[in-house]
Amino acid sequence: MTKDVSLVLAACLQELHLPAVKKQYEAVARQASAETWSYPDYLRELVEGECQQRRQHRIERLLRESKLPLAKSWSTLDLKRLPPKVVQQLRALVSGDFVDRHENVLAFGPPGSGKTHALAAVAQELVRAGRRVLFTTCSLLVQDLLAAKRDLTLKVLLKRLARWEVLVLDDLGYVQQSREEMEVLFTLLAERYERGSVLVTSNLPFSKWEQVFKDPMTAAAVIDRLVHHSVIMELNVSSYRAEAAKRSRSSAGPAPQPTGE
């Protein structure tokens, strides 16, 4: 290839934002002539490489933006510790169909039972399938909503949050929240109702939500909106953390039999 051709190509590929083609075209051209590929085959190889790189960069960006705890992944989730019903539910969720149906997921269970890990793992798989997900703790989000309300930018924030197909709210009701805090949370959930999926983890069963939402009417309204189209998951297993600590303490002696398996 003459120097002129490669200079023109490099400039054009740069202008067209085709970095993978720019990087690969000479090496692929050598392979193509060695193996006598057709012109379309050569082009396909280059264009496919570009598409693949773009998809990969998009997923990397979505993973960063999701703020998901990436170590809590599907591959590190021990399904044997979870009730068979939950495993079945999680497997179905990973397909992502519930996101298209704007359904919610509510994971209940005692601290350490794996609620956050299970939902973060599902959410990470959804991102890897190209979906836009945001993970946040319920209390952080409520603080953001309250600040926005004070600054009269609540509408803007709600609009920005609506861009996420999936919102993971970790630890709903973990701390006692004030009436004002609960009101903004209610506004958010009402806004997303039947428009986007919300994944919630909570240590508290529905019956205790009244305490969190201060007044029974708000609690009932929130439950109503969350539950209407939802998958409810009960992780009634013992604490993974407590078991891990027990195992390491007694590592000198015989290993304790894990419960629930």
Binding segment for ligand ADP (CB under 6 A), chosen from 69-77, 174-182, 207-215, 252-260, is: 69-77
Number of residues this chain uses to bind ligand ADP (CB under 6 A): 17
Q: Select from ligand ADP, Mg ion, none the partner in contact with residue 82, using the beta carbon and a kind-dependent cut-off of 5 to 8 Å.
A: ligand ADP
Question: Which residue's CB comes closest to Mg ion?
Answer: 116
Instruction: For 129, list phi and psi in degrees, rounded to 5.
Output: -90, 5
- HEC readout, 22-86: HHHHHHHHHHHHHCCCCHHHHHHHHHHHHHHHHHHHHHHHHHHHHCCCCCCCCCCCCHHHCCHHH
How far is residue 97's CA from residue 105's CA, in Å, rounded to a whole number?
Answer: 12
Specify the long-range contacts of residues 179-184, CB closer than 8 Å, at least 24 apart.
Answer: 179/214, 179/215, 179/218, 180/146, 181/142, 181/146, 182/212, 182/213, 182/214, 182/218, 182/222, 183/218, 184/142, 184/145, 184/146, 184/149, 184/154
User: Which of 116, 136, 137, 218 touches Mg ion by CB under 5 A?
Assistant: 116
Q: Which is nearer to Mg ion, 116 or 124 (CB)?
A: 116
Q: To the nearest whole angstrom, how small is the minimum distance from the Cβ of residue 130 to ligand ADP?
A: 25
Task: Give the pair of three-digit tokens for residue 123.
Answer: 């959410």
Q: To the nearest whole angstrom, how small is the minimum distance from the Cβ of residue 110 to ligand ADP?
A: 7
Q: To the nearest whole angstrom, how small is the minimum distance from the Cβ of residue 43 to ligand ADP?
A: 46
Task: Give the pair of three-digit tokens for residue 31.
Answer: 């392979």
**Per CB under 6 A, 115 contacts ligand ADP:** yes
User: What is the distance, to the nearest Å, from the Cα of residue 99 to the centroid of all Cα atoms in its chain?
Assistant: 11
Residue 171 — left, alpha, or beta (φ > 0 → left; ψ -120 to 50 → alpha)? left
Q: Select from ligand ADP, Mg ion, none the partner in contact with residue 202, using the beta carbon and a kind-dependent cut-off of 5 to 8 Å.
A: none
Binding segment for ligand ADP (CB under 6 A), chosen from 107-115, 138-146, 153-161, 190-198, is: 107-115
User: Which of 66, 89, 137, 201 touches ligand ADP by CB under 6 A?
Assistant: 201
Q: Which is nearer to Mg ion, 89 or 116 (CB)?
A: 116
**Per CB under 6 A, 78 contacts ligand ADP:** yes
Q: To the nearest whole angstrom, how small is the minimum distance from the Cβ of residue 63 to ligand ADP?
A: 18
Q: Which is nearer to ligand ADP, 21 or 166 (CB)?
A: 166
How far is residue 137's CA from residue 41's CA, in Å, rounded to a whole number?
Answer: 49
Binding segment for ligand ADP (CB under 6 A), chosen from 1-9, 21-29, 76-84, 183-191, is: 76-84
**Per CB under 6 A, 111 contacts ligand ADP:** yes
Q: Which residues would be at the binding site for ligand ADP (CB under 6 A)?
A: 72, 76-78, 81-82, 109, 111-117, 201, 240-241
